[in-house]
Amino acid sequence: MSMISRVGVVGLGSMGMGTAMSLVRAGFDTYGFDLNAEACARLAEAGAVASGPSALPYAGQLDALLLLVVNGAQVESVLFGENGVAEAMRPGSLVVVCSTMAATQTKAIHQRLTEMGLEMIDAPISGGAVKAAEGRLSVMASGKPALFEQAKALFDAIAEKLYVIGPDIGQGSTVKTIHQLLAGVHIAAAAEAMAMAAKADIPLELMFDVVTHSAGNSWMFENRVPHILEGDYSPRSSVDIFVKDLGIVLDSAHQMKFPLPLASAAHQMFLAASNEGFGREDDAAVVKIFKGIQLPEEK
């Protein structure tokens, strides 16, 4: 089985750009694709072989295509839409789907790719923009064991932790779904706690210091609360991302007839924030749904 040397990355947002840069540093012939011309230019300056708005002109040259787009609809559009790249890829080429999707959708996409003679790894990621830029992502993956041997150097370049969940497509997506349950609930709980501190006239910097040195801390609390303290809601990950991801969590649970009371409450909080016009702001902006409190303003 041939090794992978020519890799395309679709989606040069905060996670995709870091992933593409990591591939460039590792010596892969890297191609980057995004509708944002500035992002394409930045990757080209970093040493990409080519970049542009569409992967279609280069699809036949690629050994592997990584998809780091926002949702399953965008994955399907990139692969099978009007200018879909799947038909232009060489048989046996590898598609690595890193986007967060329901396992049922992941399986359906795999079936279509298989019928077209293409291979697929279900590989949702976590770690944020900083770890993406450092090549230290966590990858929750499933697929044929032989494909992981073929793609070992690729995952070594982008990931600190590669968790191979099993051979069946959809297993990686299921693990990421459960992870997002925790991530969303932790952000919502962090916002609720800081809003209560504000209501009680506790200095928010003091509250942050207490929690981050005590048992109530979480990675999300430590990472997101500084956005609240700085009054900076520039989107690293948006409110609407968690409207989507917790929606996937709840849909998956409904199929299992499994109750998720905390995830349901967190989802309602993110929906409320989106409804109030904060959908494109950083997910820490879920704190803005609480009324009667004074939050820090951007400095």
Among 169, 196, 219, identify where a domain stops.
169
The one catalytic residue among 107, 144, 152, 176: 176
Q: Which of 152, 169, 186 is a domain's end point?
A: 169
Give the H/E segment covering residue 8: strand 6-10
Containing structural domain, residue 233: 175-289
Domain membership flag for residue 295: no
Query: Are 182 and 68 members of one domain?
Result: no
Task: Judge whether 296 lies within some domain.
Answer: no
Q: What is the secondary structure of 52-103 as a DSSP string?
A: ES-SGGGGGG-SEEEE--SSHHHHHHHHHSTT-SGGGSPTT-EEEE-S---H
184 and 280 in a common domain: yes
Distance, C-alpha 24 to centroid of its chain:
20
> Angle between the 171-199 and 219-230 helix axes, to the nearest 10 degrees?
50
Same domain for 51 and 132: yes
Answer yes or no: are the C-beta atoms of 129 and 22 closer than 8 Å. no
Q: pLDDT tens-digit profile of 6-26?
A: 999 999 998 999 999 999 999
Q: Looking at the structure, do residues 51 and 158 belong to the same domain, yes or no?
A: yes
CA distances for 77 relative to 72, 83, 85, 156, 283, angstroms: 9, 8, 9, 28, 26
User: Are residue 189 and residue 158 in the same domain, yes or no?
Assistant: no
What is the rounded distance in angstroms from the CA atom of residue 81 to the CA atom of residue 69? 14
> Could you tell me if 62 and 165 lie in one domain?
yes
297 within a domain of the structure (yes/no)? no
Same domain, 161 and 196: no
49 lies in some domain:
yes
Query: In whole angstroms, what is the distance from residue 173 CA to residue 143 CA?
Result: 11
What is the C-alpha separation between 120 and 156, in angstroms, rounded?
18
Tally of domains within the chain: 2
Question: Could you tell me if 227 and 118 lie in one domain?
Answer: no
269 and 219 fall within a common domain: yes
Say which residue the tokens 């649970």 belong to: 253
Distance CA 74, CA 83 (A): 12
For residues 124 and 258, state if they share a domain: no
Examine the domain organization and report whether 119 and 211 are in the same domain: no
Question: Counting beta carbons within 10 angstroms of the beta carbon of residue 138, is it exposed (0 to 12), middle (13 to 18) or buried (19 or more)?
Answer: middle
**Active-site residue 176, yes or no?**
yes
Nearest-angstrom CA–CA distance, 35 and 132: 20
CATH of the domain at 222: 1.10.1040.10
* pLDDT tens, per residue, the chain with 299 residues: 468 999 999 999 989 999 999 999 999 999 999 999 999 999 999 999 999 999 999 999 999 999 999 999 999 999 999 989 999 999 999 999 999 999 999 999 999 999 999 999 999 999 988 999 999 999 999 999 999 999 999 999 999 999 999 999 999 999 999 999 999 999 999 999 999 999 999 999 999 999 999 999 999 999 999 999 999 999 989 999 999 999 999 999 999 999 999 999 999 999 999 999 999 999 999 999 999 999 999 87
Residue type, 21: M
